[in-house]
Amino acid sequence: MPDSTDSDVRSEAVQRRRMTVALVLSAALLGVAAVVIGAVTGGDAEAGSSTPTDGATTPSATGTATPRAAPAAPPAPAAVDTFDRNAHSLDDPASIWVVVNRDRALNPIDYVPDDLVDVPVAHTWDPQLRQEASAALVSMFEAAANEAGLYLASNSAYRSYDTQVGLYGDGSDPTTAPPGHSEHQTGLGIDIGTEGGCTFECMEDSPEGQWLRDNAYRFGFLLRYPADKVDVTGYPHEAWHYRYIGAELATRMRETGYTTLEEFFELTG
Q: Is 104 part of any domain?
A: no
On whether both 136 and 249 belong to a single domain, the answer is yes
pTM exceeding the 0.75 threshold for the entire prediction: no
Q: Is 196 part of any domain?
A: yes
Q: Is 87 part of any domain?
A: no
Quote the CA–CA distance of 20 and 151 in Å, as a whole number: 121
On whether both 129 and 211 belong to a single domain, the answer is yes
Q: How high is the mean pLDDT in each 10-residue block of the chain (269 residues)?
A: 50 60 54 50 46 49 64 76 93 98 97 98 96 98 98 98 96 94 98 95 97 98 97 96 98 98 91
Contacts of 51 (CB under 8 A, 6+ apart): 58
On whether both 8 and 120 belong to a single domain, the answer is no
Output DSSP code: residue 96: T
Q: Is 202 part of any domain?
A: yes
- The beta-carbon contacts of 71-77 under 8 Å, at least 24 apart in sequence, are none
On whether both 157 and 248 belong to a single domain, the answer is yes
> Is residue 142 annotated as part of the catalytic site, yes or no?
no
On whether both 125 and 258 belong to a single domain, the answer is yes
Residue 3 belongs to what domain range?
Answer: 1-47
On whether both 158 and 26 belong to a single domain, the answer is no
- Asked which of 12, 30, 47 is the last residue of a domain, the reply is 47
On whether both 180 and 257 belong to a single domain, the answer is yes
Going from the C-alpha of 134 to that of each of 81, 121, 129, 154, 200, the distances in angstroms are 30, 9, 5, 11, 21
Query: Can you give the pLDDT at residue 60?
Result: 53
In total, how many domains does the chain have?
Answer: 2
Q: Is 123 part of any domain?
A: yes
On whether both 132 and 259 belong to a single domain, the answer is yes
Using CB atoms within 10 Å of the CB of residue 16, give its burial: 0 to 12 exposed, 13 to 18 middle, 19+ buried: exposed
Query: Can you give the pLDDT at residue 268?
Result: 82
Quote the CA–CA distance of 224 and 27 in Å, as a whole number: 105
Q: Is 211 part of any domain?
A: yes
Q: Is 245 part of any domain?
A: yes
Catalytic residue among 208, 238, 255, 263: 238
243 and 222 in contact (C-beta within 8 Å)?
yes
On whether both 155 and 244 belong to a single domain, the answer is yes
Query: Can you give the pLDDT at residue 64?
Result: 62
On whether both 253 and 133 belong to a single domain, the answer is yes
The CATH number for 176's domain is 3.30.1380.10
Q: Is 105 part of any domain?
A: no
On whether both 134 and 259 belong to a single domain, the answer is yes
CA neighbor of 190 nearest in space, from 238, 247, 248, 258:
238
Query: Can you give the pLDDT at residue 2?
Result: 47
